[in-house]
Amino acid sequence: MKTERIIYLDHNATTPVDPRVLEAMLPYFTEIYGNAASIDHEAGNLAKQAVERAREQCATAINARPEEIIFTSGATESDNIALFGVAEKYASKGDHIITCVTEHKAVLDCCTRLAHQGKHITYLPVDQYGLVDPDAVRQAITPRTILISIMAANNEIGTLAPLREIGAVAREHGVLFHTDAAQAVGHIPLDVQAMHIDLLSFSAHKIYGPKGVGGLYVRRRNPFVRVAPVLYGGGHERGIRSGTLNVPGIVGMGKAIEIGVQEMDADARRERAWTQQLLDYLREHLGEEQVALNGHPTQRLPNNLNVSLRGVESKSLVVQLKGIAIATGSACTTATVEPSHVILALGFGEERAHSAIRIGVGRGNAEGEISFAIGIVATAIGRLQRLVV
Ligand SMILES: Cc1ncc(COP(=O)(O)O)c(C=O)c1O
């Protein structure tokens, strides 16, 4: 079944697979199908070589070493391993974790569970732009703190965290630093050494790779970070993540991240121009005071625009946009009608949260599509506003 051609503007939810990525993956379904752990024969060895090449590609993108990359099923699993794995291994050292109110549910729900298990969680607030203050991180640290988990880039509003400053605070106090970089890897420069990051979660499907595959960077030097497994079994991935490796998926992720890094500047330039064009148009046509930008004006993901449109209920708007895919909140929470916890955390109230739309542009969009989409969005907004007055 082929879906009708749509203008896809939801690249923060997921991205299409880049044809170059698909091409790299294809042989690993039907020709090189060995189990990367069965290395007594050529079939397994070829699969293992491909996995190791992908490990290198992922490591290079964040200035890590290949042996520090653990393959998982996605950023959700990576976040789970980071939080539960550190909480268990460092239980004798402490029981306090610092995170932030605007994290993805993959982190927040782990923290809720850990709190049920008796751990202490500090949820730091953010400012009106969604930024965490590194000084607040410093002040929250206690002798019992074992982990700081702050996301690299917010999936709803695109705000980029001051990773370098938070990493420096973590290092100064000898506390481990985890970052959920699902939206950031391959989109913005990341360096686990310069930023003092000890654990970093990433996912293939946010960077034009396949769904259902991701990774976790776990530092092995200065310090050697230990994590307990979440899944038990054959002892794959240094015993941290048992289970037969998804070889085609891993090959695709390696290629996708490699392309992401190579084309980062060009992609970002185009995306930034489009998101600015969208914002300018909305402001011009609806009036400056009708359009509120959610997130930081400059410290943000190039591909993300999140705006609240005064008097417009975003759910009603997006269902009217036939042929255009735009989100109201994060894809993972849109099954509920609750206002976005991220927009609420900025301190502007429920109306602003209920009128927020998220536009995520990407590599697959063409110039003409953006202006076409702008026209349709503006018409739909006009129709809704007429209904309200
Ligand atoms: C910041 C962030 N963390 C975690 C996830 C979950 O990633 P995955 O879909 O790979 O499990 C997402 C995806 O929505 C995300 O944006």
**pLDDT tens-digit map of 133-181:** 999 999 999 999 999 999 999 999 999 999 999 999 999 999 999 999 9
Report whether residue 74 contacts ligand 1, using a CB cutoff of 6 Å.
yes
What's this model's pTM, rounded to 2 decimal places?
A: 0.96
pLDDT value at position 5? Answer: 80
Model pLDDT for residues 237-249, shown as the tens digit of each residue: 999 999 999 999 9
Nearest CA to ligand 1 atom 15: 182
Handedness of CA 116, 230, 185, 94 (dihedral sign): positive
pLDDT at 198 over 70: yes
Alpha-carbon distance of 308 to 76, in angstroms, equals 28
Alpha-carbon distance of 155 to 388, in angstroms, equals 30
- How many A from CA of 182 to the centre of ligand 1? 6
Nearest CA to ligand 1 atom 12: 182
Nearest CA to ligand 1 atom 16: 155
Report whether residue 131 contacts ligand 1, using a CB cutoff of 6 Å.
no
pLDDT at 389 over 90: no
Handedness of CA 356, 357, 362, 367 (dihedral sign): negative
pLDDT at 97 over 90: yes
Please give the torsion angle defined by the CA atoms of residues 379, 380, 381 and 384, in that order, rounded to the nearest 10 degrees: 120
Spot the catalytic one: 58, 110, 111, 332. Answer: 332
- Better-scored residue on pLDDT, 251 or 372: 251
Alpha-carbon distance of 262 to 279, in angstroms, equals 27
Separation in Å, CA 213 to CA 61, 106, 161, 321: 16, 15, 24, 31
**Structural domains of the chain in order of their starting residue, each with its CATH number:** 7-14+264-388 (3.90.1150.10), 19-262 (3.40.640.10)
Q: What is the mean pLDDT of residues 74-102?
A: 98
- How many A from CA of 372 to the centre of ligand 1? 29
- How many A from CA of 115 to the centre of ligand 1? 22
- How many A from CA of 75 to the centre of ligand 1? 5
Alpha-carbon distance of 204 to 254, in angstroms, equals 8
Let me know: does 377 contact 321? Beta carbons within 8 Å.
yes
Alpha-carbon distance of 163 to 114, in angstroms, equals 24
- How many A from CA of 76 to the centre of ligand 1? 6
> Catalytic annotation on 332?
yes
Residues sharing a CB contact under 8 Å with residue 110, sequence separation 6 or more, in sequence order: 79, 80, 83, 84
Separation of CA 145 from chain center: 25
Report whether residue 192 contacts ligand 1, using a CB cutoff of 6 Å.
no
pLDDT value at position 381? Answer: 85
pLDDT value at position 379? Answer: 87
Strands 199-203 and 214-218: antiparallel
Model pLDDT for residues 98-120, shown as the tens digit of each residue: 999 999 999 999 999 999 999 99
Alpha-carbon distance of 173 to 354, in angstroms, equals 40
pLDDT tier for residue 332 given thresholds of 50, 70 and 90: very low
Report whether residue 106 contacts ligand 1, using a CB cutoff of 6 Å.
yes
Alpha-carbon distance of 139 to 137, in angstroms, equals 5
Nearest CA to ligand 1 atom 7: 75
Place of tokens 């994060």: 330
Q: What is the mean pLDDT of residues 224-251?
A: 96
Alpha-carbon distance of 217 to 203, in angstroms, equals 11
